[in-house]
Structure 1
Amino acid sequence: MSALPETARSATANTGGKAAPVSGTALIWLDGKAPARFEGATLGVPWPRGTVKPVGDKTPRFRLAGAGAGLAMQSWPLAYWPDGSLKWTAHAIAGGAPAGDLRIEAGAPASTPMPAAVSVKETADGIVVTAGDIVWTVPKAGEHLIASATRAGRVTMRELKLVALRQDGPEPEEGGSVTRQPFTGKVARVTIEQTGPVRAVLKAEGAHSGNGRDWLPFSVRLYFYAGSDSVRIAHSFVYDGDPARDFIRGLGVTAKAPMTDASHDRHIRFAGEGVGVWGEAVRPVTGLRRDPGQAYRDAQVAGKALPPMEGMAKPVQAGLQWIPEWGDFSLSQPTSDGFVIRKRTRAGQAWIDSNAGTRTKGLAYAGGAGGGIALGFKDFWQRAPTQLDVRGAASAMADVTAWLWSPAAPAMDMRPYRAADGMDTHEEQVAGLNITYEDYEEGWDTPAGVARTSELQLWVLGATPSHQAFSDMAEQVANPARLALSPQRIHQCGVFGDWDPADAGTPARKLIEDRLAAQVGLYIKEVEQRRWYGFWSYGDVMHAYDEDRHMWRYDIGGYAWDNSELSTDLWLWYSYLRTGRADIFKLAEAMTRHTGEVDVYHLGRFKGFGTRHGVQHWSDSSKQPRVSNAAYRRIYYYLTADERVGDLMRELLESDADLHKVDISRKLPANAARAAAPGLVNASFGTMWGSLVAAWLTEWERTGDTRWRDKIVNGMQSIGGLKRRWFASAAPYDPGTGKFMGEGDHIAISQLNGVFGVVEMSSELLTLVDAPAYRRAWLEYCRYYNSPKEELVALLGKDPGGRSQIDSHSRLTAYVAHHEGDKALALRAWRELLGSSGFLRGGVFTRRVDGVAVLRPLDEQPGVSTNGSAQWGLAAIQNLALVGDSLDEAARAAGLVS
């Protein structure tokens, strides 16, 4: 990797002068305290430029200190600075870590042997992963993700595999019938990605197979941690069916638990509400007409083997055979607001209602005193309809299944929500767009190619867990313990551009910080208040509000689901970076999981592109890279080292080569400025090129491959070489070289060019590459976008119009003010931000609405817009970092503080 020249002045406001080693790397628990149970975790750690050098081709050695001294830690590189020094490293920490302070420091790891270290051994037809006394056998191909798992020599789990149910039509509305077909995951290949000693990772790829057909391609990663008796499963699949005839009736992960104990020593557990646990035996001895004795009742409730039978009351001994054995158990969560538990003795007999509740953390156990398995998945009630099943618990082998889509629910309906309704031409479709804000085009509202990732956990246990232990396990499923860094520690390293840790130290800063907190808090509350849940929808938020109905515009074309419009994802991630708040992290994480999977196509003609905001996540016919934008994923990737998100960003590296397949401007009037020669495609600088560079930057950082850097620089320098530079707005683009072509002598301004991550990416790039022509062009654009009309006319010769969102573009003014040391521009930037009507109206104003006007009492913010919330938030964050020293003066001049 070759070093690049340093630029004249850093464009990253949080990097002060020459980089210095960080003073310490203290790890903190994201939720503020150590968990009761810890199954291991991985986090990313940044380093200032030039301070941590690789040793040859190897990562420098790191170790845990503090209470973690003596524990092993596995480390590897995630990203490099242009000079070849480490920018990000990843660190895997074993399960069972102590609750005290943990720190990462340079140096040789402790020499203390690590108990339960993970090792991987490859054979001709399989892979064996050993973690302590658990041995996992993974075939290289076939139906099983894991063929078996033994604990202390006992086979405790068999045949972990994927299952799906296909239905050939929707639920019959009046008579009629449908048929169903079962499918089983068929693994085509397994890749060993890490081999321990703290973390081993295997990636299995294949498709669901059955009835002579393969569909629903998947990739599944298996994560094994030292000190843990579980495997974490990251399950990703792509919907590739015909929505008119391929309805998913069930989608799940299933495993078998050998049931070797007597039926009265076999136990089922389900996570209940909160910390609650539902637990019963296959053959109960409590509640009988005859009392077996206190010791027997206590043992069974605790999940332990009953004392010797000779001590049991004689009438119960003699009558055990007449007590029904309950073989099948089911917990179904049809909605986010309720679940029900039922059981039956066997197939063909009636189900009996047992209990019910609101929300469960989503974990089931089946086994006996000699051991068993627990299986569950994250976001269980948030992604309803979901289900957990145990079948055959009274037989020699029980099946435990986690249904990501419950077969008890109606089949998943992926059909378009509307028909053409007369919109047969582009002219008619544009007319419709002008009414509903939806870009409709028949055949473009397809779900074929969208994906979803789910996170599961499977334990192989040596005994039935106590209620408390099972409750702690359920908490780890629903809310995995995460280690994180403080905002200050991340900020020291100059990563992610212009931001600084939250600081309410002056009255004016408190005014800004309070509004930033209130805006994020509003959306955190709205997720629950509006029930923004469901298999495909959880993680997204709505776009615009209808205060007449006291509802978000969920059914009005392009005003419904947000789909990353105007960088909502970035707003949440920068809000987390500044505050370290767990609730913001979790909202941003859910959004990253959603927007990178559901809103983006992973195969087919739209592969690499995302779908503009709409009633369904795939319903709008505008397919653009501004939605698939890697800038929305990379912060999460670097904070967590999540491999699936890394895959998603790599999917986008060549997507510019397909821009010609989807003409985004096809419905607009002909415009000579948009004409492009064969082999070229007209591309806007912000919504298209600016949405592509994040993938190239991330790949350059991850691999050191300079072709991606060169492609970025080609684009930057060629924009700077156009006659009108950034004010050309768009130009013919060559995907082969990354260069813009032509004279660029036309003038156009679009507020959309600056609101899909290009501002943040430009801030980073100008600290990493030497692109003087682009620097001049960008500073020019930043100075004049919000300038008085006469100044813009003096520069361009005319007023092209198109300028709007003055407050969100105040960060452009702040950027040039910071880099040119212009105090007057700094004050102008604050006037642009503070002068927005929303701010002067009192910030985030909410009101209570109840009674017959609404479905349930709620708090609403009239006129709320996610566009405005995200962009105002991003502008405020960047302004604080760039020109925060001018805020108090500007706020006093505006009369906002005294």
Structure 2
Amino acid sequence: MNDQTMNIPLRWLQENKRERPAGVTWGVPWREGELKREENLVLFSAAGEPVPVQSWTTAYWPDGSVKWTAHAASVAASDRTGGYVLRKGEPACGVKPLAVKETDETIEVDTGILICRLNRSGASVIRDIEREGKRLCGGAMLVGIREARETLHGAKIMREETFHSEIDRTEVETQGPVRTVVKMTGKHRMLEDGRTWLPFTLRFYFYAGQDTLRIVHSFLFDGDAEQDFIKGLGMSFDVLLEGKLYNRHLRFAGDSGFLSESPQGLMTFRTTGRYQDLYREQTDGKKVAFDPQEDARFMELIDDLAVWDSFKLVQHTADSYTITKRTKEACSWIRAASGGIARGLAYVGGENGGLALGVRHFWQKSPSSLEIHGLSRDASTVTAWFWSPDASAMDLRHYDTVTHLKSSYEGFEELRSTPYGVGNTTELSLSFHGRTPDRETLEALAEEKEDPALLVCEPQRYYDSRATGIWSLVDRSTESKAALEDGMDAVFRFYLEEVEQRRWYGFWDYGDVMHSYDPVRHTWRYDIGGCAWQNTELVPNLWLWTMFLRTGRLDVFRFAEAMTRHTSEVDVYHIGEYAGLGSRHNVLHWGCGCKEARIGMAGLHRMYYYLTADERIGDIMDEVKDADYATAGLDPMRSYYPKDEFVTHTRSGPDWSAFCSNWLTRWERYEDTFYRDKMLTGLDCLKRMPYRLLTGPVFGYDPATGILEHMGDENWGHHLMICMGGAQVWMEMAQLLKDAEFADMIAEYGAFYNLPKEEKARRTSGAIPGKDWNIPMLSTAMMAYAARHAQDSQLAREAWSYLLQETNHWQIRIPLETEPVERSEYICPIREIPWMSTNTAAQWCLNTMICLELIGDQLPETNQTEVAAG
């Protein structure tokens, strides 16, 4: 197809229930050589009208052509109903570009509707915000509370200490006519003793012509889990209020509608007739006016009313919230309402307009709250509490004082359970209004902040680009293929429902799933170390992102997004001794003594970055580029190989393969050949091993040189080499490097893995006797690669047999069906799959999607409803 006529269709990921203007950023992949870096791109609406678009490159192919681009557009409400087309050409003009002014004290961004001034130093992160010339926000800062615990004369004493933000640096990270991002970093300062802690990053996202501001807040825990108990953590905004108290309004989004109140309502003991109608108008947010003479008696009643100066909505758990209010600080809070799931949106405003503040995943990441004070003053303080001070303080200590290596699969005798260096990210949205918005507008805001606008390509585009690894498009052309597609859909649906059924929510937990099931207690093994939270074990992230690429489904994307946010932040260390490493699966996300690079390898998060251009994920992928150096201080094989002449030890998988995932990502994003060469150094070492990729898998390793040293031909188990993303990383490396020998090595490994021990020994003259080549299902992607490489039909059929005909717990039994649990045997009615394992689910689905691509023509046409029924 001629480049000038090449069209890339784009569609909205989600149905637009209520039309609202939006700023949107998305990513597009390109085939190698298809787009040169100097070529421009133009965006067209479904009607064929050019749309102003801002474009930049996020990854390059080895030949220097563009691999991934990111794009930003500011769309009107009327443009949310159709799709778009991207193609080569000169970008359209027409939007009034964003204006940025920098001074020594502030960075000012003007969207055409909003002017926001961000501070470069001090406690206040936002100096002020204007909407169409009217100043609505007087400032904002990060706030928090530390609970100090002491024992005095045998009595436990708890006191609260407050802290707030202190800015270190504010800079324009990305500047363009459509989209500008300002990045701010700093720490929190304790007001009592001046201590600084809890490093934070704030990003402010602006789109031309938009009245909304998106904020992404990330913080790292750098305290002492035994002493530092965070009682509250959030962000506060000062909203400027004008007008009569009865013309000031607040809104809280509840389960389905809104609590609509005023600090001074018109409900009195004698509100009747015309005043009842005015009361309805007031509750609807309309401005109310009185005649001093005609309404004198009623105004006396209003003056006598209590003034409700403070309101708060507290989401205690994922299933319960309360709304309370009070008149004065010295007075009690009274309950206004209770409910189940609050949608995390509040509005505060006066006659001059106001602010709508939304917190994404508000109830999912409980305990959280929205708190409003000072409604009777000239400025009201609105606080979004990411961790509500109405809840118990965070307790990040380990669940025991010892480890449980034998009974619980906890990796090492060393405890090493520390949250020092883990993080958490919260997304906020601010919109500014000239008057109190109606309920339809607030509904649209609540929906938009929870399910933000995103444009995506069709699966065929992702597939054709070859920029996203090896996987198959959905194919139901035969009974067997249809059965596999139904089976994979059923596995995903099971986990989607399981999150709801098991209530896998909470500030530190949301986005993760559990590892292993206990059919006796009818629950997951939440209290067994090594068997509780999954923490990227056997790469469920890769399963979910691959599933999205081939289906384009909204529910899959949001599930994978939540997992990416969690696993990239909570399961990985960003600072400290273990920076670049992550914690293996455990009762607590940071609880296991195994701290390994594979937990946080860039490949787990990379697809989210390329699909959304999310800068926070970009930071995290940058952080792990030198994760191999952390193994010099914490050898991943220290329990098996005592300190010797090597700096450290590494396995070709999952350690070195994780390093390669980090290096490959660094290379393609920045064309940083240092990390490409480090990858090539290790690959050259493997090529020179006695049996290439079959050798080892443990090697001596020096992070400074990247050299792998031979330590034996068979010195450890082999299944972990390939089930932690190693197979996918190696296949992509072979493709990118166009390395025929490495491709042959991968194929050799796939063909060798399930050979009988005797044959393994014969082929290697006894050097590899065949110990610990376990769990054939995990090797099926490698087998499929080998079968395709050698056009070996017998090997292909054998691979399918391991996926479909084995009857152990490493197979998914299709059709997949849940079964009810006797009501009295669990706390509530549930359905279960007693044999389910997330390890199995992730690897079976991922391998099946790869095998359908590589050896789908060899899939046996049997009655799949009977497969693996034993």
TM-score range for the pair, normalised by the shorter chain length:
over 0.9
Using the TM superposition, give the Cα deviation of residue 19 of structure 1 relative to its aligned residue in structure 2, in angstroms: 12
- 2:727 corresponds to 1:759: yes
Q: Which residue of 1 aligns with 2:657?
A: 690
With 30-39 and 252-261 compared, the bigger mean Cα shift is at 30-39
Q: Which residue of 1 aligns with 2:788?
A: 818
Pick from 29, 32, 37: which aligns with 1:46? Answer: 29
Q: How does 1:120-199 map to 2 (within 5 A)?
A: 120-169=100-149, 176-199=156-179
Distance 1:492 1:466, change over 3 A: same
The C-alpha deviation readout for 1:760-792, integer Å capped at 9, x for no partner, is: 111111111144443332221111102344432
Does structure 2 conserve the Cα–Cα contact (< 8 Å) formed by 1:724 and 1:744? no
CA distance in 2, matches of 1:736, 1:127: 40
Q: Secondary structure at the match of 2:385?
A: strand
Q: Which residue of 2 aligns with 1:552?
A: 524
The C-alpha deviation readout for 1:535-580, integer Å capped at 9, x for no partner, is: 0011111110000000100001111111111111111111111111
Using the TM superposition, give the Cα deviation of residue 498 of structure 1 relative to its aligned residue in structure 2, in angstroms: 1.0
The C-alpha deviation readout for 1:426-475, integer Å capped at 9, x for no partner, is: xxx6xx41211123555511111110011011122211111111111111
With 257-266 and 737-746 compared, the bigger mean Cα shift is at 737-746
Q: Secondary structure at the match of 2:625?
A: coil
Using the TM superposition, give the Cα deviation of residue 582 of structure 1 relative to its aligned residue in structure 2, in angstroms: 1.1
CA distance in 1, matches of 2:95, 2:813: 60
Q: Which residue of 1 aligns with 2:826?
A: 854
Q: Which residue of 2 aligns with 1:285?
A: 266
The C-alpha deviation readout for 1:141-190, integer Å capped at 9, x for no partner, is: 11122100011222100211101111113999995321111111111101
Pick from 65, 87, 93: which aligns with 2:67? Answer: 87
The alignment-based identity, stated in percent, is 38
Q: How does 1:318-329 map to 2 (within 5 A)?
A: 318-329=300-311
Distance 1:840 1:610, change over 3 A: closer
Using the TM superposition, give the Cα deviation of residue 885 of structure 1 relative to its aligned residue in structure 2, in angstroms: 1.2
CA distance in 2, matches of 1:489, 1:354: 51
Distance 1:273 1:171, change over 3 A: farther
Q: Which residue of 2 aligns with 1:668?
A: 640
Does structure 1 conserve the Cα–Cα contact (< 8 Å) formed by 2:564 and 2:608? yes
Does structure 2 conserve the Cα–Cα contact (< 8 Å) formed by 1:191 and 1:204? yes
CA distance in 2, matches of 1:437, 1:19: 58
- 2:183 corresponds to 1:232: no
Using the TM superposition, give the Cα deviation of residue 658 of structure 1 relative to its aligned residue in structure 2, in angstroms: 2.0
The C-alpha deviation readout for 1:299-337, integer Å capped at 9, x for no partner, is: 312212114535964431333211222110000000000
CA distance in 1, matches of 2:477, 2:140: 54
5+ residue gaps, structure 1, are 1-17, 421-428
Does structure 1 conserve the Cα–Cα contact (< 8 Å) formed by 2:42 and 2:51? no
Does structure 2 conserve the Cα–Cα contact (< 8 Å) formed by 1:721 and 1:773? no
Using the TM superposition, give the Cα deviation of residue 896 of structure 1 relative to its aligned residue in structure 2, in angstroms: 9.0
Distance 1:712 1:642, change over 3 A: same
CA distance in 2, matches of 1:103, 1:493: 17
Using the TM superposition, give the Cα deviation of residue 649 of structure 1 relative to its aligned residue in structure 2, in angstroms: 0.6
Distance 1:740 1:666, change over 3 A: closer
Using the TM superposition, give the Cα deviation of residue 266 of structure 1 relative to its aligned residue in structure 2, in angstroms: 0.2
Does structure 1 conserve the Cα–Cα contact (< 8 Å) formed by 2:116 and 2:130? yes
Q: Which residue of 2 aligns with 1:27?
A: 10
Does structure 1 conserve the Cα–Cα contact (< 8 Å) formed by 2:52 and 2:92? yes
Does structure 2 conserve the Cα–Cα contact (< 8 Å) formed by 1:231 and 1:458? yes
Pick from 95, 106, 118: which aligns with 1:114? Answer: 95
Distance 1:883 1:35, change over 3 A: farther
Q: Which residue of 2 aligns with 1:741?
A: 709
- 2:594 corresponds to 1:627: no
Does structure 2 conserve the Cα–Cα contact (< 8 Å) formed by 1:383 and 1:533? yes
CA distance in 1, matches of 2:6, 2:491: 33
CA distance in 2, matches of 1:202, 1:312: 53
Q: Secondary structure at the match of 1:652?
A: helix
CA distance in 2, matches of 1:499, 1:771: 20
TM-score, with length taken from structure 1: 0.92
Distance 1:76 1:30, change over 3 A: same
Q: Which residue of 1 aligns with 2:622?
A: 650
The C-alpha deviation readout for 1:745-766, integer Å capped at 9, x for no partner, is: 4454421111111111111111
CA distance in 2, matches of 1:533, 1:743: 45
Q: Secondary structure at the match of 1:804?
A: coil
CA distance in 2, matches of 1:812, 1:380: 41
> When the two structures are aligned, how many residues end up with a matched partner?
859
Does structure 2 conserve the Cα–Cα contact (< 8 Å) formed by 1:384 and 1:533? yes
The C-alpha deviation readout for 1:699-746, integer Å capped at 9, x for no partner, is: 111111222211111112211210122222121122123221237544
The C-alpha deviation readout for 1:220-243, integer Å capped at 9, x for no partner, is: 111011232121111000001011
CA distance in 2, matches of 1:895, 1:564: 28
- 2:468 corresponds to 1:496: yes
CA distance in 2, matches of 1:213, 1:180: 15
Pick from 265, 272, 288: which aligns with 2:254? Answer: 272
Using the TM superposition, give the Cα deviation of residue 850 of structure 1 relative to its aligned residue in structure 2, in angstroms: 3.7
Q: Which residue of 1 aligns with 2:803?
A: 833
CA distance in 2, matches of 1:799, 1:311: 102
Distance 1:729 1:193, change over 3 A: same
Q: Which residue of 2 aligns with 1:414?
A: 396
Using the TM superposition, give the Cα deviation of residue 296 of structure 1 relative to its aligned residue in structure 2, in angstroms: 2.1
Using the TM superposition, give the Cα deviation of residue 51 of structure 1 relative to its aligned residue in structure 2, in angstroms: 0.8
Does structure 2 conserve the Cα–Cα contact (< 8 Å) formed by 1:295 and 1:307? no
CA distance in 2, matches of 1:378, 1:893: 41
Q: Which residue of 2 aligns with 1:364?
A: 346
* Structure 2 residue identity aligned to 1:379: H
- 2:423 corresponds to 1:486: no
- 2:484 corresponds to 1:512: yes
CA distance in 1, matches of 2:377, 2:842: 55
Distance 1:746 1:441, change over 3 A: closer
With 788-797 and 218-227 compared, the bigger mean Cα shift is at 788-797
* Structure 1 residue identity aligned to 2:161: Q
* Structure 1 residue identity aligned to 2:203: R
Does structure 1 conserve the Cα–Cα contact (< 8 Å) formed by 2:815 and 2:865? no
Q: Secondary structure at the match of 2:569?
A: coil
Distance 1:316 1:95, change over 3 A: farther
Q: Secondary structure at the match of 2:435?
A: coil
Q: How does 1:636-647 map to 2 (within 5 A)?
A: 636-647=608-619
* Structure 1 residue identity aligned to 2:336: S
CA distance in 1, matches of 2:271, 2:625: 70
Does structure 1 conserve the Cα–Cα contact (< 8 Å) formed by 2:814 and 2:864? no
Pick from 830, 837, 853: which aligns with 1:881? Answer: 853
Using the TM superposition, give the Cα deviation of residue 663 of structure 1 relative to its aligned residue in structure 2, in angstroms: 2.0
Does structure 2 conserve the Cα–Cα contact (< 8 Å) formed by 1:571 and 1:870? yes
With 289-298 and 391-400 compared, the bigger mean Cα shift is at 289-298
Using the TM superposition, give the Cα deviation of residue 883 of structure 1 relative to its aligned residue in structure 2, in angstroms: 0.7
* Structure 2 residue identity aligned to 1:691: A
- 2:74 corresponds to 1:105: no
Q: Secondary structure at the match of 1:293?
A: helix
With 643-652 and 713-722 compared, the bigger mean Cα shift is at 713-722
TM-score, with length taken from structure 2: 0.95
Does structure 1 conserve the Cα–Cα contact (< 8 Å) formed by 2:182 and 2:204? yes
* Structure 2 residue identity aligned to 1:774: F
With 63-72 and 496-505 compared, the bigger mean Cα shift is at 63-72
With 328-337 and 18-27 compared, the bigger mean Cα shift is at 18-27
With 460-469 and 646-655 compared, the bigger mean Cα shift is at 460-469
* Structure 1 residue identity aligned to 2:530: G
CA distance in 2, matches of 1:840, 1:388: 44
Using the TM superposition, give the Cα deviation of residue 110 of structure 1 relative to its aligned residue in structure 2, in angstroms: 2.5
